Structures are given as structure tokens and as C-alpha cells.
Amino acid sequence: MKENDNVLLEVKGLKTHFHIKDGTLKAVDGVDLVIKERKTLGIVGESGSGKSVTSQSILRIVPPPGKVEGEILLRRRKTGKNEELVDLGKLESQGKEMRDIRGGEIAMIFQEPMKAFSPIHTIGNQIMEAILLHNTRDVKEAKEIALDTLRKVGMSNPEQRLNEYPHQLSGGMRQRAMIAMALSSNPSILIADEPTTALDVTVQAQVLQLINDLKEKIGMSVIFITHDLGVIAEMSDEVAVMYLGKVVEYTDVDTLFHGALHPYTIALLQSIPSVGKRNERLESVEGTVPTPINLPKGCGFYSRCKRAKDGVCNVYDVPLVEIGENHYVRCLLVGN
Amino acid sequence: MDNHDRILEVESLKKYFPIKKGFLKRIVGYVKAVDDVSLSIREGETLGLVGESGCGKTTLGRCILRAIEPSEGTVRFKTRVGETVDVTELENKELRKIRRDMQLIFQDPYSSLNPRMTVLNIVGEPLICNGIASGSELRERVKELMELVGLDKRHLERYPHAFSGGQRQRIGIARAIATNPKFIVCDEAVSALDVSIQAQILNLLQDLQKRLNLSYLFISHDLGVIQHISNRVGVMYVGKMVEMAATEELFNNPKHPYTEALLSAKPMPDPRMKTKRIILQGEVANPAKPPSGCYFHPRCKYATELCKREMPVWSEVGAGHYVACHYANQLDLQGAVVQ
């Protein structure tokens, strides 16, 4: 790990493979990421890119038969003694230390709040459960913290909400409740996996603003996973573009939108319908994402790439190379 | 607008769902899913319909096709022989005939195809039901349609599970154009697809529109998609049409505060363009218990006492630009940022 005060979490060579009867499904196949203090890393990718499995791997909640390999180095909070560097990849996924971190220092919010909450317990019950696990043993104190967090996330009538069930809240409110649950332990890192995809655009705007405000107030880092490039532009400081289990481009958000180099990133940017492009044909990427089992040699994007060179792109492994300052690209045709 | 080239004219359409409570199932109220909506579409045109959850856009689309029975209102449609009929008044036999001319493409490519039917069965079904083709002629026609939508005709006998989401959507499109319709309701037809596949399908829909002279009612919650594919756009809120105009006009020069908020809420795919966001307070109103006066007033930053009391009237405020707002021409609203 670099001697860099800023880095909170470093993922090195992450591989999450599922050994199934048809072969090995390589959902995540060699991913490197850096999460810096108080910064948002956006991870963008379409279905099958491995972005969700990446976040599950960090929190060690990948369902079997998935196996996680590689280093996931977390700089744990100062606990009085010196700062520790813990490799989450080496911890027991159900062990005490991992359970301490999961929902504590690293919290996660999901796309479908209705699925993330238990339908038979009240919101208050569920938020307090998280607090009682990570903050305090005192039930009264836990209730106060729960109320306070609900207020922080702008929930109307927090006292009433505590006694309500998830189905009684609207989508936007459920998402706020989930954010409250995630925040109640004052996490250093919030992983947000498509948290606004299922929400109406005006409610999405509220939730995105909320996450940004809280990021400022609490000083947390965010890993924001989405397929929506508009949201990525809005929320991220740095962006990793994923395709078929690998990071294909990694840079700061401005360079990504104004200086992207990987053919997949460029194709993605050109396929967004938006102002000024009315009625022209959209540049679309032909074909579909292959299933990451028994993939052929070479670049994963070869079958759909307009610039692909036969004999080069479909033969050699493609490394992630630093092309410019803080700009990494995985393409043999870029750079020298 | 020239009446001669109108293919569809909807007037004062309403769909009220009764709310029944108690043992005796007494009607205690209504969900006003579509509440007095009028619109028209010209031949070869795409009218985009945008709005958030519960605004009634899907119900409106289904009512136009009479897949759901409207509570009130008329739907005048120009059939392929040039006759204008009121869809809401037709008897079953006549309704079946004009169903060849009006079709529907669904949102979910996974649930809109019968998993136990092959592509041949799925795309061929409308041809069989309408007595258009059978036997070897049917096969040929289905193969033609598959090619038109970019599917490999050798996959005729495959089942839906063998195809990806984008490909299934193509099957749904092939099915919709099988009877040579004039008008298609696309209900969130690309919403469930990845961005790169979405682009393929949007291109396909535009190509087909040119080739087959189709008219579309394109329903979506995604402003970028609506902006790309529509000639004109209608904005709905809690069962009501609140604004309608030509696409560029609506996006650059919105006249309704809700449209302004919608445009400003959408994150732009460019970090250099973080617009000054209008963040609406509160949630979308409940169509079973809408607010008094203008339904939007509780969330509107320009609202006055008048807005709380009186429902605004739908009126023309510019050429072909309609709004329902008491202050339509007095507000200086922010349009979308043009790249």
C-alpha cells in the first residue's frame, strides 16, 4: 500500500470466481480499486460487468459457490492504538472482526429497499438492531440515535416512522430509512449499490443530494455503483468503468467524460440519448455482453469492439496501464 | 394542426378505479388514474409521454388501445382504410379488426413473452388470430419480421430463455409490427435494457417508423430517451396532463413548474454541467387522495393561495404549446441545459 494518508481502502487483484458445473464463472477477474478519504469512487458498468459482485466481495457477502481472492486492505479506524491495516480478504466472512466492520465502518445500501428490509419488523426495530450491534447496548440510547439519524436523512415525522413497517413507506422514504440504517454507525465508507435506480427522477434527485450532503457532514467516503452515466457524473470524484469482471478504464470524473480512451467507455458515452443529439442515430454497441464463463483469450471486449485488431486483441492478455496522470486504460491499441 | 393527417385524437379521457371497502364492498372513493386527458397524434409522428410513478401514463396508453375500458371520453382513430372510428364505442367484432392497426410493446422483455412459446409461435400469433397468414406463408412472414428487427431467422424455433433482454425486446417488436399496424404504444419499451442495448432498440424503432410509416405513443420516465425519440412531448402528473409542446420547445422553454423540476432533476452525463438543481420537497401526490386545487401545489415553489383553491385550466400559451398552470406566462422557468 502506498504511504498515502488519503487512501482508506485498497483493493488489489480482486477475483471472485464461481465454480459451477459448466465451468468457472469469473464474475470479478482481477480488479484494482482505491477509495480515498472523503471522496466518491463511481463504478459504472452494465449487466454482467461484475460491479455488484465487486461490492459484495469487499463486504464478503458473496453467496456460495463464489470464492473471493486477492487483497482488500482497509485502514481501520484508530482505536486508541496505532492504525491497523486489515486485509478483509483474509478474514472469516462470518467472523467477529468482519461482522464488526460490515454495517459498522463499511455500510451498504441497496437498490431495492423493499427487499433489503424485513417486511415483518418495523423500521425502528431494524435501525435499532444495527445500532445495538455497533454502537451501544442501551436500548433507550439506541432509540435516540435512531431518531437522530432519521432526522439527519430528512425523514418527516421520525417518531411515527419508527413504528411503521417498510410497506407503509414510499420508495423514497424507504431509501432514506435504509440510508439512516447505514449511517447509524457512522461508517467511514458507504457502499451504494444502485440506490436510486428504482426511484422516480425527482426522488432520485433528493436522495443523491442527501448522500452528498451527508458525505460532507460526516466526512465519509462513498463507493457509488450504477449503470447511469448521468448519476456517475453527478456523484463521483473518480470513476472505474467495468466490463466483464475487469476495470477497463479508471480516472477522475472530468477526464472520463471529456477524455475517455477505452473503446467501451467511448461507445457507452456515445450511446446516451441526450440534448443536442435529437433524431440522429445513436452510436450503439453491437451485440451483447458474453457470459463470463470459458471466455476466449485476449480482451473481453473484442467481440463488440469497432477498433478490434484480429491477431492482437484476441490473443494477448491486456494489462491495465497508466496512460496519463491518474488515468488507467486496459486496451492494447491505446498509448504506445 | 391540420386535421387531415391526424391518426389519433383523444378527448377528455378518464379512468377512475373505484376503491371498495368493507364487507359490503361499498365504494368509498376513486383512484383517478387518468383524469380528463386530451391529446392527438399525427401520422408518422412520435408523441412522448413522460411522468413519474402513478401519473397515469401507462393507464392512458392502455385505455387508448381499450386494453382497459375507459370510464369516460372518446378515442378517435383513423384505420388503415382511412375511416375514423371511436374506439370506445366499438363492438367486439369491430374492435378486433382495428386491433390490427394499433399495437403495444411492453416494458419487461422477460414477462411479456410466453416462455413456452417459440419465436415462431409468439410472432406468428397475431397473424393467425387475425387470419392474415398460416402454414408456410406464416413461416416466411415471421422470418421476414425477424430480419426486419435484426434477429437471426435461424432462431425461429427457439424459446425466449435462449435470448438476451435486448433480443427479447426485438421479439416483442416483431410481434407488434406483424399485422402492419399504423400506431404503436411503446410502454417503457427500453427502460429495462442496458444503455448500449437501449441505443440499439431506439435506433431500430426509429428505422421501423420511417420504413413502415408508424406513429408512436412513446411512454417513458426517462427524459433523455423521450427527448431523443419524440416530436412532441406531454408531461403527466397524478392523472392529469400538465404540459404539452414540441420537444425542443418543451425542453428549452418549459412553462409548468413540474416540467421545470423534472428537467432539472435529471443528472446530466457531464460533470461540468452540474445545473442548479431544483429539489422538490415531498413525494408524488396520491391519486386516490389528490390535493385540493392544482395537484402540484404542495410541491411547487411558486404556489399561491389561488393554486390551493382552483384547478388550473388547460390552455394554449404559445404555438402548439399547452399548459395547465395559473401562472404559465408569468414565470421565468429554467429549461434543460443544452450541450
Asked whether residue B304 carries a pLDDT value surpassing 80, the answer given is yes
Tell me the per-residue pLDDT of B269-301, one tens digit each, with 9 for 90 and over.
Answer: 888 887 677 888 877 788 888 899 999 999 999
C-alpha cell of residue A28: 470479478
CA distance A162 to chain B (A): 19
Contact check, Cβ <8 Å, A201/B266: yes
Asked if A109 and A192 count as a contact pair (C-beta separation under 8 A), the reply is yes
Give the ipTM of the model, two decimals please. Answer: 0.80
Listed in sequence order, the DSSP H helices in chain B are: 57-65, 92-98, 119-129, 135-148, 165-177, 195-212, 223-229, 247-252, 257-265, 305-309
Asked whether residue B185 carries a pLDDT value surpassing 80, the answer given is yes
Q: What is the mean pLDDT of residues B313-325?
A: 94
Chain A residues with CB-CB distance to B268 below 8 A: 230, 233-234, 274
Contact check, Cβ <8 Å, A273/B203: no
Give the pairing type, strands B321-324 and B240-246: antiparallel
Asked if A201 and B221 count as a contact pair (C-beta separation under 8 A), the reply is yes
Tell me the per-residue pLDDT of B140-159, one tens digit each, with 9 for 90 and over.
Answer: 999 999 999 999 989 999 99
Q: What DSSP letter does each residue of B55-73 carry, written as one string? A: SSHHHHHHHHHTSS--SEE
Tell me the per-residue pLDDT of A207-265, one tens digit each, with 9 for 90 and over.
Answer: 899 899 888 888 999 999 998 899 999 999 999 999 999 999 999 999 999 999 999 99
CA distance A137 to chain B (A): 34
Tell me the per-residue pLDDT of B85-94, one tens digit each, with 9 for 90 and over.
Answer: 999 999 999 9
CA distance A76 to chain B (A): 31
pLDDT at A174: 87
C-alpha cell of residue A208: 443523491
What average pLDDT does chain A have? Answer: 88
C-alpha cell of residue B41: 397524434
pLDDT at A76: 84
A312: alpha, beta or left, given left = phi > 0 and alpha = psi -120 to 50? alpha
Give the pairing type, strands B321-324 and B314-318: antiparallel
Tell me the per-residue pLDDT of A122-144, one tens digit each, with 9 for 90 and over.
Answer: 999 999 998 898 888 899 999 99
Amino acid in position B328: A
Tell me the per-residue pLDDT of A32-52, one tens digit each, with 9 for 90 and over.
Answer: 999 999 999 999 998 889 999
The residue in chain B having the minimum alpha-carbon distance to the alpha carbon of residue A236 is B271
Contact check, Cβ <8 Å, B283/A203: yes
Nearest partner of B165 among B186, B138, B195, B142, judged by Cα: B195
What average pLDDT does chain B have? Answer: 91
Asked if A261 and A305 count as a contact pair (C-beta separation under 8 A), the reply is no
Q: What is the mean pLDDT of residues A12-27?
A: 92
B229, B280, B339 ranked by CB distance to A202: nearest = B280
Residue A203 confidence class, pLDDT cut points 50, 70, 90:
confident
Tell me the per-residue pLDDT of A70-92, one tens digit each, with 9 for 90 and over.
Answer: 999 999 876 655 668 899 999 98
pLDDT at A271: 86
pLDDT at B197: 86
Asked if A166 and A116 count as a contact pair (C-beta separation under 8 A), the reply is no
d(CA B51, CA B188): 11
Contact check, Cβ <8 Å, A46/B196: yes
Note if the bond before A65 is cis, omega within 30 degrees. yes
CA distance A212 to chain B (A): 13
A154/A276: higher pLDDT: A154
d(CA A56, CA B83): 59
B214 secondary structure, DSSP code: -
d(CA A183, CA A106): 10
Asked whether residue B266 carries a pLDDT value surpassing 90, the answer given is no
pLDDT at B1: 46
In a mutational test of the A interface, the residue from B161, B167, B169, B194 whose CB has the highest number of chain A CBs within 10 Å is B194
Chain B residues with CB-CB distance to A204 below 8 A: 265, 267
Q: Which helix (H) or strand (E) holds A131?
A: helix A123-134
Residue ranges covered by each domain of chain A: 7-105+187-290
The residue in chain A having the minimum alpha-carbon distance to the alpha carbon of residue B335 is A275
Distances (CA, A) of B315 to B117, B253, B309, B322, B323: 48, 16, 18, 5, 6
- DSSP helix/strand/coil, A260: coil
Q: What is the mean pLDDT of residues A106-121?
A: 86
φ and ψ at B68, to 5 degrees?
Answer: -120, 140
pLDDT at A253: 96
Q: What is the mean pLDDT of residues A160-189?
A: 88
What is the pTM (predicted TM-score) of this model?
Answer: 0.86
In a mutational test of the B interface, the residue from A114, A173, A288 whose CB has the highest number of chain B CBs within 10 Å is A288
d(CA B83, CA A227): 46
Nearest partner of A91 among A114, A65, A68, A122, judged by Cα: A68
Asked whether residue A162 carries a pLDDT value surpassing 50, the answer given is yes
Q: What is the mean pLDDT of residues B51-61?
A: 90
Give the pairing type, strands B6-21 and B72-78: antiparallel
B268 secondary structure, DSSP code: P
pLDDT at A242: 96
Query: A–B: how many Cβ contacts below 8 A?
Result: 140
Listed in sequence order, the DSSP H helices in B243-321 are: 247-252, 257-265, 305-309
A172, A257, A275 ranked by CB distance to B227: nearest = A275
Q: What is the mean pLDDT of residues B10-29?
A: 89
Residues with Cβ < 8 Å from B182, sequence gap 6 or more?
B7, B43, B78, B79, B80, B101, B102, B213, B214, B215
Tell me the per-residue pLDDT of A258-271, one tens digit each, with 9 for 90 and over.
Answer: 999 999 999 999 88
B52, B269, B277 ranked by CB distance to A233: nearest = B269
d(CA B239, CA B34): 4
In a mutational test of the B interface, the residue from A284, A304, A306 whose CB has the highest number of chain B CBs within 10 Å is A284
Least confidently predicted of A116-125, A239-248, A272-281: A272-281
Neighbouring-strand partners of residue B77: B8, B85
Contact check, Cβ <8 Å, B196/A267: yes
Asked whether residue A3 carries a pLDDT value surpassing 60, the answer given is no
Contact check, Cβ <8 Å, A272/B197: no
Distances (CA, A) of A253 to A237, B264, B271: 6, 21, 7
Fold of B3-101+181-324: Rossmann fold (3.40.50)
Asked whether residue B64 carries a pLDDT value surpassing 50, the answer given is yes
Residues with Cβ < 8 Å from A173, sequence gap 6 or more?
A155, A161, B283
B162/A280: higher pLDDT: B162
d(CA B150, CA B164): 13
Residue ranges covered by each domain of chain B: 3-101+181-324, 112-180
Please provide the CATH number assigned to the domain covering A7-105+187-290: 3.40.50.300
Asked if A142 and A128 count as a contact pair (C-beta separation under 8 A), the reply is yes
